[in-house]
Structure 1
């Protein structure tokens, strides 16, 4: 895949009649299919059926599935709603960015699994990266560390969202509420630790006031990660 051909050159105008479709429209349909049915359902045939086109005609806009995935990732990256400039609080800005990422990945459940296959950065992704690098500059990190930290943040969010979604799917498949499953798990672990064989685990089961919801857990883990970013610098 040539990034210059993909991002730096606009779609070439054709002679004669205006094109019936566009790369943007094809990408939008692909995202809609992936949101509803998953990435495996995204095929040129499925997209062509939705927009009323011949399957082979779409290859003049998007040459292959790999290119389409790059376009899809960058399209949903455009969903970020970030301020034009960072504030004076880099930790708060980084939390906001992480929550934007989490919201986008939950709206597009296929995205966490797609990110590791990404080969290039499109304009929407570059805009997010530029903002993140500006935020992290205030943290006192050098240029390379800022880039690595953004990758670390995105990886953390993707991993956590994948876990959240998997847990929700398992709960739904079991036919119980998340509260019921949590209570059942708590009863089981309390019975196991009553033997005295797992004293450290038993300490973690003591009653606390910490919110067990997925959003609250995400916030606590995110704060731990952010607070450790400048350790040792």
Structure 2
């Protein structure tokens, strides 16, 4: 193969993470898959912590926050959240990667966070409020992106179907006099729903609260 690049390493690492889980991502495994010695990988990433940061940076690299335009702050914040969700959803392991890294060591994540902070300040929120709001928005986006692909990669479709069936039956078998709503809504609770509704409603839920707070300023 040609010269080994950091991009080639993190792309293969993400492929393994998506299909086998992050525990399977090791320097030795990557070296074997890429046909190089472990030392060749250490040239780019000194340890797994740096590798995970590289994976996280690559996850968000394709998502370029749009520069300021004529849209209102809340529309731009919505675009940012929805764009991040779409980007992260392309990799089942995305949430696990982002949860295991120091997000302040990920340049592309910092770019998204910085823009979100600016939008909150534009809306009239204080520095402390802006810090809290952006943490809620970004973590919500990560959680929303993860939900539909939660079992992807580490389970076959048949296994996912069986896991879902067992969860649904577990809720439906609860005492209906004590948990009437859980029993009644067991299906959509565990089987999921239309992804379009899931995404838009999730973002609406977060953004509507921020917009209501801003309106009281």
Matched residue SS, 2:89: helix
Give 5+ residue unaligned stretches, structure 1: 1-18, 206-211
Specify which structure has the higher proportion of helix: 2
Cα gap change, 1:53/1:153 in structure 2, threshold over 3 Å: closer, same or farther? same
Give the conservation status (yes or no) of the 8 Å contact 2:59–2:87.
Answer: yes
1:65 aligned partner? 48
The Cα of 1:53 is off from its aligned counterpart by 0.8
Larger radius of gyration: 1
RMSD: 3.3
Matched residue SS, 2:105: coil
The Cα of 1:72 is off from its aligned counterpart by 0.8
Q: Which has the higher contact order (CA 8 A, sep 6+)?
A: 2
1:166 aligned partner? 150
* Structure 2: distance between partners of 1:53 and 1:146: 46
Give 5+ residue unaligned stretches, structure 2: 186-192
Q: Is residue 126 of structure 1 aligned with residue 106 of structure 2? A: no
Alignment of 1:101-180 (within 5 A): 101-119=84-102, 120-166=104-150, 172-173=158-159, 175=161
Cα deviation, 1:133-171, whole Å, max 9, x if unaligned, reads: 232233211233223222111211222333322377697
* Structure 2: distance between partners of 1:41 and 1:84: 38
| Residues paired across the two proteins, number | 199
Cα gap change, 1:31/1:163 in structure 2, threshold over 3 Å: closer, same or farther? closer
Give the conservation status (yes or no) of the 8 Å contact 2:22–2:93.
Answer: yes
2:11 paired residue among 25, 28, 39: 28
Give the conservation status (yes or no) of the 8 Å contact 1:86–1:135.
Answer: no
Matched residue SS, 2:99: helix
Q: Is residue 224 of structure 1 aligned with residue 210 of structure 2? A: no
1:213 aligned partner? 194
Matched residue SS, 1:70: helix
Cα deviation, 1:63-89, whole Å, max 9, x if unaligned, reads: 100111011101111121432225432
TM-score (structure 1 length as normaliser): 0.69
Matched residue SS, 1:83: coil
